[in-house]
Structures are given as C-alpha cells and as structure tokens.
Amino acid sequence: MRKEGRALGQRIRPTAKVRREYSVVCREPEKGSHVQPVSVCSHTGDISTQTLVAREELLKTLKAFDSGEEERVIAMLPNARERWFMADAAKGLLPPDDEELTISIRPGKRGPFSFRADRARVIIERLREGKFPESEEHELVGKLHTIDYQRTIITVKPGANRAVRFDYPMKIEAWLQANVRKRVRVVGDPNYDQKGDITSFSDIKLLGEIEPSLPAIKSFYIDKEEIFFNKPLSIPVEFDWQNRIFVYSDEELGIDVISSSYEKIRDEILSDLKILWLEYAMAEDEALDKDAIGLKKKLLNRLGRGNGAA
C-alpha cells in the first residue's frame, strides 16, 4: 500500500468493552521475520503416532538438504523419484536469490535449526536437473477395498491417499475373497500423477498378504508322531503376478514352496516340513555340510515332538 501511495487506515470498530481493555494497532510491516506455523497431521487434522513419525521424517529430509551433501540426501531418500519430488517441494521453501532471508525450522522442544538457502539451493537444483526419473519398483500397502467380479478389477486403498485400481487374473479370486477388507501389498512399476501419487501400475510383480488368511500351522504328523511348533507358523501367501503362481517362503526354516492353487499351498508347506524334518532335523551332523547344520539347528529350535492334536 505504501508503494502504491495509499495510506494505512483502521477498518475495525471494536466494542466499547474491547476499547477499554485493548488497543487495536494497524501499522505497516517492519523489516524482520515472518513466522508461519507448520505441522504434519492427517486429512482430518488428527495428530497420531504416524503423523509424528511423518513429521520427524520431513525434518530429517530438510536437514539432509540443509547439509548440502548429496550422499546424505541419497541415504535419506534412496528412491530417485521420491528425491525429485521432495527436492521440488523443498524448493518452494527457498526465498528468492535477491532477498536476504533465512528459513528457520522449529520442530518443537528440541529447538530450531536454520534452513540455509545458499547450501540447500545448490543441491536441490542439482537433484532436479536432467530428465524426470523413470518409474522404479515400488511397494504400495493398502486395504483391499472392493472386488468387481464382473470386470475383474480390484481396488486397493492406501490410507488417506487415492485408491488404485487394476485388473486381476481369475485364478486369484479365492485369495482376494480371503483378503477383502484386509491390508495387502502390491509390488510393481507404478504410474504417478503430477502430485506424486500412484494412480496405477504399468507392471505388477507381486501381490502379497500382510494379515495371513490361511490357518497357522501348529503341528504336523509323520506317521503317527506329532511334530509341533513352539510358536505357530503363520502363512502370509504371495502371488507371483508374472509367473501366475502362489508362493510361500521362510528363509529361516528353509521353506520355499509354490502352488498353482491358493487352497492347496498349505498342503504343500506341510509336505515340505516333513521333508525338512526327516532330511535335516533328524539327520546326523556328519551327513550335513555347514549350511545344512545351521538349518538343522534352526529347525530344532522351532520344532519338537509331542502328543497333542494336529
């Protein structure tokens, strides 16, 4: 207003009570600082453990940019596309070159740190140079929201983000029905919108359970002898999208099975356990190499003989 030659005036008419207790001041801003409170919360405004973690990650990212060290930024943001989007967002914090401003981030009780534009500007511009990063393999976790049986389309809803829809093969319908309204993970090459949100997948590698649907294995029988787990073996089943097979593996116990049917994979695991018990757990050490002896110890640590129900 001053630059336009206009006078600053008062455009408020407080009540008599307010005038008695307070003075209303309206004046031209002075050269100094501009404080804008910023926080991270959910779309509903709630502060939760997850939002506190997100805020902490945001501050760590800004501090990585502030260091001016590209190695530190890459360690914090190993995904090239995520680095590009975060650098693009952080650029909005930087004041113009011709203004002598310093950005101070105040995370709370731990105190402030200065976001130095001269250090951050260089690395942010360098990270945004060149061609926009190509899509990298990404894992999306969300709730299996709906199944459209007529069009063979499923919808996965990752929290507050936009839903992602894609076609599915008919042979996984039993798996889908067992996991509807449960959290699942999708691994593949995603497509993004301008905001950086995943809109679809150009290539899906794997679809996996997070909350197992098949009953955990508490024990199994070899002849009439029961072999039991000291802790039930849960079975989070994955579907290898490209090879169209169901997969379950447990590296610690040496289990690695595949099945063309979701309903039969538990039987495949039981069959594998019997082989592992006989050929490794019950074998003499002299008949095993170093790796096999290690597997034997792990099996005996989890399995034992008993007389309970299957």
Tens-digit pLDDT profile for residues 25-34 = 666 656 665 5
> How far out from the chain centre does Cα 18 lie?
51
Higher pLDDT among residues 201 and 133, named by residue: 201
156 bridge partner residues: 144, 164
In whole angstroms, give the CA distance from residue 68 to residue 73: 8
Residues across the chain: 310
In whole angstroms, give the CA distance from residue 65 to residue 121: 8
When pLDDT is cut at 50, 70 and 90, the band that residue 21 belongs to is: confident
Mean pLDDT of 97-113: 65
- Highest mean pLDDT of the ranges 46-55, 100-109, 158-167, 209-218: 209-218
Give yes or no for residue 43 having a pLDDT over 70: no
Percent of the chain's residues with pLDDT above 90: 43
Q: What is the pLDDT of residue 20?
A: 73
Total-model pTM? 0.57
Q: How many CA atoms lie within 13 A of 226 on its CB side?
A: 11
CB 26 within 8 A of CB 8: yes
- Residue 216 per-residue DSSP state: P
Give yes or no for residue 308 having a pLDDT over 50: no
**pLDDT tens digit string along 152-174?**
999 999 887 789 999 999 999 99
Higher pLDDT among residues 134 and 57, named by residue: 57
Mean pLDDT of 124-138: 74
Give yes or no for residue 10 having a pLDDT over 60: no
Mean pLDDT of 283-287: 92
68: left (phi over 0), alpha (psi -120 to 50) or beta: left
Q: What is the pLDDT of residue 273?
A: 95
**pLDDT tens digit string along 204-246?**
999 999 999 999 999 999 988 999 999 999 999 999 998 999 9
In whole angstroms, give the CA distance from residue 38 to residue 42: 13
Q: What is the pLDDT of residue 45?
A: 67
Mean pLDDT of 275-292: 92
Q: What is the pLDDT of residue 35?
A: 59
Q: What is the pLDDT of residue 52?
A: 77
Q: What is the pLDDT of residue 310?
A: 36
233-to-20, 137, 214, 219, 236 alpha-carbon distances in Å: 74, 29, 11, 9, 10
Give yes or no for residue 194 having a pLDDT over 70: no
**Domain spans of the chain?**
40-127, 138-195, 217-306
Mean pLDDT of 274-287: 93
